[in-house]
Chains A and B, each alone.
Chain A
Amino acid sequence: MSDAVRDFRFAVNVTPREGILDPQGRAVEQSLPHLDVHNVSGVRVGRRVELTVSAADEAAARAVVERLAHELFSNPLIEAFEVVALGPAAAAGVRA
């Protein structure tokens, strides 16, 4: 069926851009000696958004995710993002 709509599951990983101050990452890093860990550096804290998009194909679904990642999930001035396809949504299957 050409008009079949399927569910696609994605994750968007948002992280502070390189060179941008990340006070959360720094606070985490500074806490590590309390766990007796002394060989970890470069901690950066971001966020991950997972979502399901109903679309005709993965490219169309990905386009929606890219737009949301750019306009809503991240602030391009200070954050970078990557979109990861998680494959067909688990409980979804094909919908007419």
Chain B
Amino acid sequence: MTVRIGVVVFPGSNCDADTLHGLRVVGAEPVELWHEQADLGGVAAVVLPGGFAYGDYLRAGVIARFSPVMRAVSAFAAEGGLVLGICNGFQVLAEAGLVPGALLRNRSVRFAGREVMIAADHDRSAFTRGVPVGRPLRMPIAHGEGCYYADDATLDELERSGQVLFRYVDAAGRPASDPADRANPNGSLRAIAGVMNRAGNVAGLMPHPERASEAILGSADGRPILQALVDSAREHAAAGRRHAPGIAVA
């Protein structure tokens, strides 16, 4: 059964075509969702792709937050619909308050465009099912504001409740918890590269799995992440389910 996944296109999105392709590679039927449309057309999941929505003016992601499509995405998320934000999409979700925390300017004050390693914290979420836990996954980053920030109490709670999905790691798979570690490309607190909301149906990730979804791109390590989303979306669609998937904390 094919599963339709919406990819939002904001003015300034630039990873939408890559994301559409990556989703096709893992067996989905992706459709574009224009930023001015207030209806998601019955898709089973939504991806907010990377780029510079609305020029990233004011703060990355904040102007996109108030677009018609984001009102629809917020309502979809509130009903338990699956939403994944990649890079700029993560910034949009954070600004919208759909995932916890904020993304600050990289500690280096430089745009970081290079390959990094991340590893899944666990595979008990709609976004990490089937992703090998703790194994370094190689994929690109391309951002100037990716330094994950939340206060200590929030960080503790995220870790306790399994909301941390991915961390930057070194080649041996050890989290780059020291923000000055080169394996931590932007100074993210606790090396966090990806988080999800409490309900477990909205996630944000700074690195680009869609740019690492086929061997010809130099790495296919991002593919299991896209596959997880598509498999989860397929189950949602099959069950006609609109409640949050939740998370099984071991």
Cα A27 to Cα B104 in complex, Å, equals 14
- Assess whether A23 is in contact with B58, with CB atoms less than 8 Å apart: no
Contacts of B63 in A (CB 8 A): 72
Contacts of B58 in A (CB 8 A): 47, 72-73
- Assess whether B66 is in contact with A23, with CB atoms less than 8 Å apart: no
**CB contact between B59 and one of A23, A24, A27, A75 (< 8 Å): that residue:** A75
Contact A21-B104, Cβ < 8 Å, known A27-B109, A75-B95 = yes
Question: How many A residues touch B, CB cutoff 8 Å?
Answer: 12
Contact A20-B62, Cβ < 8 Å, known A75-B95, A77-B101 = no
Contacts of A21 in B (CB 8 A): 104, 107, 147, 149, 187
- Assess whether B102 is in contact with A75, with CB atoms less than 8 Å apart: yes
Cα A78 to Cα B102 in complex, Å, equals 7
**CB contact between B149 and one of A20, A47, A72 (< 8 Å): that residue:** A20
Q: Interface 1/0s, chain A 7-27, versus B by CB < 8 A?
A: 000000000000011011011
Cα A20 to Cα B104 in complex, Å, equals 9
- Assess whether A23 is in contact with B109, with CB atoms less than 8 Å apart: yes
Give me 25 A-to-B residue pairs in the complex whose CB atoms sit less than 8 angstroms apart, sorted by A's number: A20-B149, A21-B104, A21-B107, A21-B147, A21-B187, A23-B104, A23-B107, A23-B147, A23-B187, A24-B109, A26-B109, A27-B109, A47-B58, A72-B62, A72-B63, A72-B66, A73-B58, A75-B59, A75-B62, A75-B95, A75-B102, A77-B102, A77-B149, A77-B150, A78-B102
Please provide the chain A residues from 11 to 45 with a CB less than 8 Å away from any CB of chain B in the complex.
20-21, 23-24, 26-27
Cα A27 to Cα B147 in complex, Å, equals 16
Question: How many B residues touch A, CB cutoff 8 Å?
Answer: 18
Q: By DSSP majority rule, is chain B's interface helix, strand, loop, or mixed?
A: loop
State how many angstroms separate the Cβ of A26 from the closest Cβ of chain B: 8
Contacts of B101 in A (CB 8 A): 77
Contacts of A23 in B (CB 8 A): 104-109, 147, 187
Contacts of B149 in A (CB 8 A): 20-21, 77-78
- Assess whether B109 is in contact with A78, with CB atoms less than 8 Å apart: no
Contacts of B109 in A (CB 8 A): 23-24, 26-27
Please provide the chain B residues from 100 to 135 with a CB less than 8 Å away from any CB of chain A in the complex.
101-102, 104-109
Cα A21 to Cα B59 in complex, Å, equals 16
Please provide the chain A residues from 31 to 75 with a CB less than 8 Å away from any CB of chain B in the complex.
47, 72-73, 75
State how many angstroms separate the Cβ of B192 from the closest Cβ of chain A: 14
The 7 closest A-B pairs by CB, nearest first: A23-B109, A27-B109, A77-B102, A78-B102, A23-B105, A23-B107, A75-B102
State how many angstroms separate the Cβ of B197 from the closest Cβ of chain A: 15
Contacts of B102 in A (CB 8 A): 75, 77-78
Cα A53 to Cα B149 in complex, Å, equals 34
- Assess whether B62 is in contact with A24, with CB atoms less than 8 Å apart: no
